[in-house]
Structure 1
Amino acid sequence: MYRYLLMVVLAITLKSCIRFVNEPTEDDYEPVVMSRTDFENEVGVSDTQPLENPGKIYVYGKFLFVNEKNKGFHIYDNRYPNSPQKVKFLKAVGATDIAIKGEYFYVNQATDLITFHYIESLNSYTLTKRVRNVFPQKQSPGGFSKSVEENQIIVNWLKVTD
């Protein structure tokens, strides 16, 4: 019995000392950085775009929101769930999450929290508020941080190719 317990403890100890090939290191990714001015200008609503790298999915009322990782949200009319219709693309570079309450869409845009007001009768989406630096800078997929200049924002991380 003690032999098996000793083997388990030894295996756990050794695993913590060994870096496996699949585990990312700090050098595996490089940040995509934008100036704050460019970052804030990369927000708006545009015509639909093709899905390329979808993330989280949200359903709210008649809408379906599909995150395009670090780019924004595809907005679909979901009144007929068997065939959702593309409506618009909510562009917010660095965005990965959304919360909705009533006519307001709250989006994390990398370090900032932005709010869009949706007026159904006009089918309009208007950026109404930006709260800067609510969130920390994005970390790499391996959980590493990178220092950037004061007016720069990390909007994504790209895998470094050999």
Structure 2
Amino acid sequence: MRYTLLLLSMLVLACGPDDFHPDFNQESTMGFRPIYADSSELNIGLESARNIVSAGKIYSYGNLLLVNEVGKGLHVYDNTDPRKPVNKFFVTIPGNHDMAMKDGVLYADNYDDLLALQVSSDTVIILKRLEDVIGFTAEFPSQNNVYFECVEEGKGIVVGWEQTMIEKPKCYKP
């Protein structure tokens, strides 16, 4: 009896719905639209201090407190008095999601590039940039079973995806 139930359960699970086939004839549907940037929007730069919106990793180095702003860059604080850190400036590093510190050098991603930075209380120096080593790709949305607007190379570099209604979808990611 136990084996009969097991066999019956396996048959039921094996008889799932047919594979989904996307319908490219629909007028509009929920999907993803690429977010484009040109190379000038990918530059590293110093800006005045700003509030943290989406904090990532945090490092304490000497009298500095370094806080990653996910996807945007790095907040630099003077942490001489840990009870009252002073927000000094922001380092724009587009596509920055991760960072690590070793021997006084901060390593940070900048989309596909890896940056080696020297950070002080008043500036940041790019020591080295290794291009195309991380394997960042945004050629498709990260989600599966979704419609999306096909990437148009002439519009710039795809740096992310936004969910929205799209008209007459032509691309689908299973």
Short-chain TM bin? 0.5 to 0.7
Aligned residue in 1 for 2:57: 57
Alignment pair present for 1:100 and 2:104: no
In angstroms, what is the RMSD of aligned CA positions?
A: 3.7
Which runs of no fewer than 5 residues in structure 2 stay unpaired? Answer: 21-29, 167-174
Q: Provide the residue aligned with 1:75 in structure 2.
A: 76
Aligned equivalents of 1:12, 1:79: Cα separation in 2: 64
More helix by share: 1
Q: TM-score, normalised by structure 1?
A: 0.66
How has the CA–CA distance of structure 1 residues 7 and 94 changed in structure 2, closer, same or farther, with 3 Å as cutoff? same
- Equivalents in 2 of 1:77, 1:9: separation in Å? 65
- Would the aligned equivalents of 2:94 and 2:110 in 1 still touch at CA under 8 Å? yes
Number of the residue aligned with 1:114: 115
Mark the CA change 1:31 to 1:118 in structure 2 (over 3 Å): closer, same or farther: same
Please tell me the residue identity of whatever aligns with 1:32: I
The corresponding residue for 1:131 is 130
In structure 2, the CA distance between the partners of 1:160 and 1:118, relative to structure 1 (3 Å rule), is: same
Comparing 2-11 with 68-77, greater Cα deviation is found at 2-11
Greater RCO structure (CA 8 Å; 6+ sep): 2
Q: Which has the larger radius of gyration?
A: 2
Mapped partners of 1:86, 1:4: distance in 2 = 63
Taking the aligned partners of 2:86 and 2:8, their CA distance within structure 1 comes to 59
1:64 offset after TM fit, Å? 3.2
Q: Distance in 2 between matches of 1:7 and 1:86?
A: 61
How many residues align? The count is 149
**Percentage identity across paired residues of the two chains:** 22
Cα separation, 2, equivalents of 1:10 and 1:142? 28
Q: Is the 8 A contact 1:48 1:86 kept in 2?
A: yes
